Structure 1
Amino acid sequence: MSLDSRIHESPPVRSADELARWFAERERPRDAWKVGLEHEKLAVRAGTTAPVAYEGEAGIAALLRAFSRYGYEPFEEEGRVIAAQKSGLTVSIEPGGQLELSGRPFADVHVVAAELERHLAKCHALAEALGLEFLAAGYRPWGTPATAPWMPKNRYRVMRPFLAARGRLAPDMMAMTASAQASFDFSSPRDMGEKLRVALAIQPAVTALFANSPIVNGREAGWKSYRVAVWEEVDPARQGLLAFAFEPGFLDDPYRRYVEWALDVPMIFLRRRGAYLETGGRTFRAFLESGLDGERPTLADWEDHLTTLFPEVRVKGVVEVRAADACDAEMTNALIAFWKGILYDREARASAWEAVKGLALADRRAAMIAAGREGLAGRLADGRTLGELARALLEASALGLCRQHCCGQRGEDERSWLAPLQERAASGRSPADDALDAFRRGGDRALAARLRVA
Structure 2
Amino acid sequence: MSTRTASEQDDLLIEGRDQLVAPMEEGEKPREDWRIGTEHEKLVYRREDKHAPAYDEPCGIRDMLLALREFGWEPIEEDGKVIAMGGSDGTVSLEPAGQLELSGAPLENLHQTCAETGRHLQQVKSIGEKCDLGFLGLGMWPDKRRDELPIMPKGRYDIMLRHMPRVGDLGLDMMLRTCTIQVNLDYSSEADMVRKFRTSLALQPLATALFANSPFTEGKPNGFLSYRSHIWSDTDPYRTGMLPFVFEDGFGYERYVDYMLDVPMYFVFRDGKYIDAAGQSFRDFLNGELPALPGEKPRQSDWWDHLSTAFPEVRLKSFLEMRGADGGPWNRICALPAFWVGLLYDQSALDAAWDLVKHWSMEERETLRNTVPRLALDAPIPGGGTLKDIAPEVLRIARAGLSARNCLNSGGDNETGYLTPLDQIVAEGRVPAQRLLDLYHGEWAGDITRVYEESF
- Same fold, TM exceeding 0.5? yes
Q: Give the corresponding residue for 1:341.
A: 342
2:256 matched to 1:258? yes
- Residue 7 of structure 1: CA displacement? 8.2
Q: Give the corresponding residue for 2:318.
A: 317
* SS in structure 1 at match of 2:182: strand
CA distance in 2, matches of 1:280, 1:240: 20
CA distance in 2, matches of 1:47, 1:375: 34
2:330 matched to 1:329? yes
2:47 matched to 1:46? yes
Q: Give the corresponding residue for 1:171.
A: 172
Residue deviations 1:274-308 (CA, integer Å, cap 9, x gap): 22112252222222234421210111111000111
Q: Give the corresponding residue for 2:450.
A: 446
- Residue 326 of structure 1: CA displacement? 0.5
* SS in structure 2 at match of 1:165: helix
Q: TM-score, normalised by structure 2?
A: 0.96
Q: Give the corresponding residue for 1:301.
A: 302
CA distance in 1, matches of 2:272, 2:116: 33
Q: Give the corresponding residue for 1:271.
A: 269
CA distance in 1, matches of 2:355, 2:312: 22
- Aligned-partner residue type, residue 368 of structure 2: A
2:177 matched to 1:142? no
* SS in structure 2 at match of 1:143: coil
8 Å contact from structure 2 (residues 79, 272) kept in 1: no
- Aligned-partner residue type, residue 83 of structure 2: I
Residue deviations 1:231-253 (CA, integer Å, cap 9, x gap): 01111010111111111222xxx
8 Å contact from structure 2 (residues 111, 415) kept in 1: yes
**Higher mean C-alpha deviation, range 80-89 or range 156-165:** 80-89
CA-atom RMSD in angstroms: 1.4
CA distance in 1, matches of 2:85, 2:189: 34
Count of equivalent residues: 449
CA distance in 1, matches of 2:280, 2:416: 46
Q: Give the corresponding residue for 1:121.
A: 122
CA distance in 1, matches of 2:327, 2:312: 17
CA distance in 1, matches of 2:393, 2:49: 41
CA distance in 2, matches of 1:91, 1:355: 37
* SS in structure 2 at match of 1:409: coil
| 1:124-273 correspondence runs (5 A) | 124-250=125-251, 254-273=252-271
| 1:96-115 correspondence runs (5 A) | 96-115=97-116
* SS in structure 1 at match of 2:323: strand
**Higher mean C-alpha deviation, range 431-440 or range 90-99:** 431-440
Give the ranges of 4+ consecutive aligned residues of structure 1 lying more than 3 Å apart after TM superposition. 6-9
- Aligned-partner residue type, residue 74 of structure 1: P
Sort the Cα spacing of 1:218 and 1:49 in 2 relative to 1 into closer, same or farther, 3 A: farther
- Residue 445 of structure 1: CA displacement? 3.0
Residue deviations 1:52-86 (CA, integer Å, cap 9, x gap): 11111121111111111112111111221111122
- Residue 89 of structure 1: CA displacement? 2.1
- Residue 335 of structure 1: CA displacement? 0.8
Residue deviations 1:181-236 (CA, integer Å, cap 9, x gap): 00001111011111111110001111000000000110100000001111011110
- Aligned-partner residue type, residue 267 of structure 1: M
Percentage identity across aligned positions?
Answer: 40
CA distance in 2, matches of 1:86, 1:393: 35
**Higher mean C-alpha deviation, range 301-310 or range 398-407:** 398-407
- Residue 163 of structure 1: CA displacement? 2.0
8 Å contact from structure 2 (residues 220, 448) kept in 1: no
CA distance in 2, matches of 1:5, 1:356: 37
